[in-house]
Structure 1
Amino acid sequence: MTSEWEAARRAAWEAGRRTIRGAETRPLEAAAGRTLAAALVAPVDVPGCDTSAMDGWAVAGAPPWRVGDAIPVGSAPDPRPLVSGTARPIATGAPVPPGAGILRREHGEERDGRLTPRTGTAAPAAGKDVRPAGSDVAAGEVVLPAGSRLTPPALALAAICGMDELEVRVPPRVLLLVVGEEIEVSGVPSPGRVRDAYGPQLPGVLAALGAGEVDVRHLGGDADQLLAELGVSDADLVVTTGGTSQGPTDHVRAAAASRGWSAVVDGVAMRPGHPVLLAIGPSGRPLLALPGNPFAAMVALLSLGVPLLDGMLGRRTPSPVPAPAAVELENPGRGVRVLACRRSADGVVPLPQQGPATLRGLAEADVLALVPIGGTRAGAPVPVLSLPW
């Protein structure tokens, strides 16, 4: 069967959810890029007490104010209200006495121990320029739901909540099988052969999508070797490149079927990337078989591999977002046409190199445009996928 693009992505996500990963506890400094397995619930208020949002003076009552001792940053909050008619110098982040407001440094004049507002500046009301306790995060609040990707700001948020460790999903180990008799792994390829584009590229892409260790193996075109690898691998996810079409050396489908792998998605109505295969093995492990052409392989990986790994890691998968087409985008075919594009002031513009075998356009692209059947006129919205790098 040939799946519509959206249906194929849903099927890939659901297949991933059936093999959702276990959890482990990691320190914050080792959790970047990982996925939360359990919601992060704030154990404390942030800030933990009322703090000043400005440099200046904490004041109470009407001016002029008698200036007292400064309130140091990092000092324990004083539960006693500030006496009316008094002021205390304060820096941003220092605890504010109950009932005080903040007169900004540029709005006040201090002379002979007395503080007055500058001309045209009113005395601040209680609570003015004060960050209340819990105004950023309230104790008991879910600040990051399970399935959140731990970006650098997310880690900083966990840190200010007082967390030292987080429970995260174990990243899946990937076996990458590069299939093709014509592939050379180093140097300039001889005539009639091609350089391996997958070994240098896909481990980094898979890591950006949430995968863990990637074991890269080159098989040539030997069907028996492919059978053996599928039979003995203990990887959590197997990814193959090449051998998914209908040619005499395209053995992936037959090899997978003979080992008991059943197809979840067998072809997607998109160009390039049509002959992609997603199958589940007897142990429940997924196999994602990508086409052999480099651009087609990346289209297939970003179309199905993203939701598959999101499902395995307990994450939502992102939907395409609309962007205006800067020019008319044609699609006379019977499925989604995927174009490597760059963003411009007028919208997305397709790059000149778009063939399934070329990487030039992809290397220069910002997004992939998903052109529906019948095409998209200039100025109209077209769905786009962001690139993980």
Structure 2
Amino acid sequence: MNTATDWRKARDIAYRVGQGITLASHSVPLTDAIGHTLAEPVRAANPLPAFDTVAMDGYAIRGEGPWRLEDTDQLAGTVADPLSSGHARRIATGAQLPPGTDGIIRLEDSTESNGQVNGPHQPDWRHVGEEINLGDTLFSSGRTVTPALAGFAAAAGNDEVSVWSPPTTRLAVFGDELVSQGPARDGKIRDSLGPMLPAVLDSLGAAGSAAVHVADTPEDHLRALENPHSTITLTTGGTMHGPVDYLHPTLQRLNATYHVNTVAVRPGFPMLLAETDSGIVCGLPGNPQSALIAIVTLVAPLIDGMLRRDPPDLSTVTVADDIAGRGDCTRLALVDHDGRLVAHHGSAMLRGVAAARGFAVVPPHAGARAGQELSFLSLSGISY
């Protein structure tokens, strides 16, 4: 068997493989862009503010007071005529500042009597371009479009943005022992990955598709991998060399190039990343937690690379329990919001995953002590 790839190195390899794949890009309205990844930078089509504007209701004044109140109010959305010396004009929040204005009297600080207004004033308005100038870059490519990003892009005069088309995926679930409906019985096991993984792939920025169950025969495996019509084909199970594990022989028949073949991580060891003439193949272990670890180890960095996002990074967590190491393998240990190990964390179990905040990363040849700070891989959007 090939030497297993270091966990961090495997993530780097997957990211670089993704960078080598070019996806299509297209322009979409801002309301349709949320959740997609920018293919081009977004720049300001107008400065912000686009003109000098007031930030509160009050009075625009010019010259010395008390000021004679004009009959016309300055409302938002109207062009401001110049203000005469000795005059005041009621002005609404967001309205254009009248030329010649020396100061603003806040409404709550004003006194109005006999057609005149008085009160303390100051040059209290927002200047054109205070937030951003015309042509400035709002966001670089590789950013995920969030509601706030879309709102800022709209405020800066944009109607559309260029986004990458999400990589398409196909999920092939191997195993005659699996059933897709009803309770497990008669030696059969209920498939949990088919319902879970398409949504996980969507959350990572790919276009998830419904799982296809593939029989444990060489020819069914070959048909599943020959012409997938997708950017990434994910398989579950069959990543070892058991009596009905046909994934490796099928990849050999397709003259696949292996980028990663097993990763030194527990759980999740027997995972792979390969490439055929038909596209990328990610082989996930059949055990549910191990399959999820393969997703965050290989698939998430792969998609990040395709979408030209920044390389995946880790945060930190202070663990509340001692955590045993796993020899020369990295251990990904499920922890909750308090940094405590969760129960039911076996490779075949999802109960612990559903209760966890993410994985504490225990380095090879080491354990961890309570109170120690470790790298942390979040499961945000997957488990909570």
- Please tell me the TM-score bracket, short chain as reference: over 0.9
Pairwise CA RMSD of aligned residues? Answer: 1.8
Which structure 2 residue ranges, 5 or more long, are not aligned?
A: none
1:272 is matched by which residue type in structure 2? P
Which structure 1 residue ranges, 5 or more long, are not aligned?
A: none
1:20 Cα deviation (Å)? 2.3
Task: Tell which deviates more after alignment, 371-380 or 261-270.
Answer: 371-380
> Residues 149-173 of structure 1, C-alpha deviation per residue, up to 9 Å, x if partnerless?
1111111122222222221111122
Percent identical residues: 36
Secondary structure at the residue paired with 2:5?
coil
Secondary structure at the residue paired with 1:269?
strand
Structure 1 match to 2:285 = 291
Structure 2 match to 1:210 = 205
Q: Distance in 2 between matches of 1:325 and 1:62?
A: 66
Secondary structure at the residue paired with 1:287?
strand
Q: Distance in 2 between matches of 1:328 and 1:45?
A: 54
2:114 is matched by which residue type in structure 1? D
> Residues 90-148 of structure 1, C-alpha deviation per residue, up to 9 Å, x if partnerless?
2221111244433222222223332232xxxx431x3x2x1211222211111111111
- Is the aligned partner of 1:350 residue 2:308? no
1:215 Cα deviation (Å)? 4.4
- Is the aligned partner of 1:151 residue 2:141? no
Q: Distance in 2 between matches of 1:88 and 1:376?
A: 68
- Is the aligned partner of 1:267 residue 2:262? yes
1:265 Cα deviation (Å)? 1.0
Q: TM-score, normalised by structure 1?
A: 0.91
1:86 Cα deviation (Å)? 2.8
Please list, as runs of the form range in 1=range in 2, the aligned pairs for 1:156-175 lying within 5 A after superposition.
156-175=151-170
Q: 1:90 to 1:367 in 2, by over 3 A?
A: farther
Contact 2:214 2:224 (C-alpha < 8 Å) held by counterparts: no
Contact 1:63 1:123 (C-alpha < 8 Å) held by counterparts: no
Contact 1:342 1:351 (C-alpha < 8 Å) held by counterparts: yes
Secondary structure at the residue paired with 1:89?
strand
Contact 1:182 1:220 (C-alpha < 8 Å) held by counterparts: no
Q: Distance in 1 between matches of 2:28 and 2:56?
A: 36
Secondary structure at the residue paired with 1:29?
helix
Among 182, 188, 201, the residue aligned to 2:183? 188
Secondary structure at the residue paired with 2:340?
strand
Q: Distance in 1 between matches of 2:75 and 2:349?
A: 62
> Residues 268-303 of structure 1, C-alpha deviation per residue, up to 9 Å, x if partnerless?
1111111110011135x2111111000110011012
Contact 1:53 1:93 (C-alpha < 8 Å) held by counterparts: yes
Q: 1:25 to 1:294 in 2, by over 3 A?
A: same
Q: Distance in 2 between matches of 1:172 and 1:367?
A: 25
Contact 1:174 1:215 (C-alpha < 8 Å) held by counterparts: no
> Residues 294-333 of structure 1, C-alpha deviation per residue, up to 9 Å, x if partnerless?
0110011012111101111221233010122223333242
Among 112, 133, 136, the residue aligned to 1:138? 133
Structure 2 match to 1:306 = 300
Contact 1:62 1:123 (C-alpha < 8 Å) held by counterparts: no
Q: Distance in 1 between matches of 2:60 and 2:186?
A: 78
- Is the aligned partner of 1:251 residue 2:246? yes
Q: Distance in 1 between matches of 2:326 and 2:191?
A: 32
Q: Distance in 2 between matches of 1:229 and 1:77?
A: 67
Secondary structure at the residue paired with 1:201?
helix
Q: Distance in 2 between matches of 1:46 and 1:77?
A: 18
Secondary structure at the residue paired with 1:143?
strand
Structure 1 match to 2:88 = 87
Contact 1:368 1:386 (C-alpha < 8 Å) held by counterparts: yes
Q: Distance in 1 between matches of 2:10 and 2:298?
A: 7
- Is the aligned partner of 1:219 residue 2:221? no
Among 33, 42, 45, the residue aligned to 2:44? 42
Contact 1:20 1:314 (C-alpha < 8 Å) held by counterparts: no
Among 69, 74, 77, the residue aligned to 1:74? 77
Q: 1:85 to 1:295 in 2, by over 3 A?
A: same
Structure 1 residue runs of 4+, over 4 Å off? none
2:350 is matched by which residue type in structure 1? L
Among 333, 341, 344, the residue aligned to 1:339? 333
Q: Distance in 1 between matches of 2:199 and 2:80?
A: 48
Secondary structure at the residue paired with 2:211?
strand
Contact 1:54 1:102 (C-alpha < 8 Å) held by counterparts: no
Q: Distance in 1 between matches of 2:334 and 2:212?
A: 28
Q: Distance in 2 between matches of 1:369 and 1:84?
A: 67
1:213 Cα deviation (Å)? 4.8
Structure 2 match to 1:369 = 360
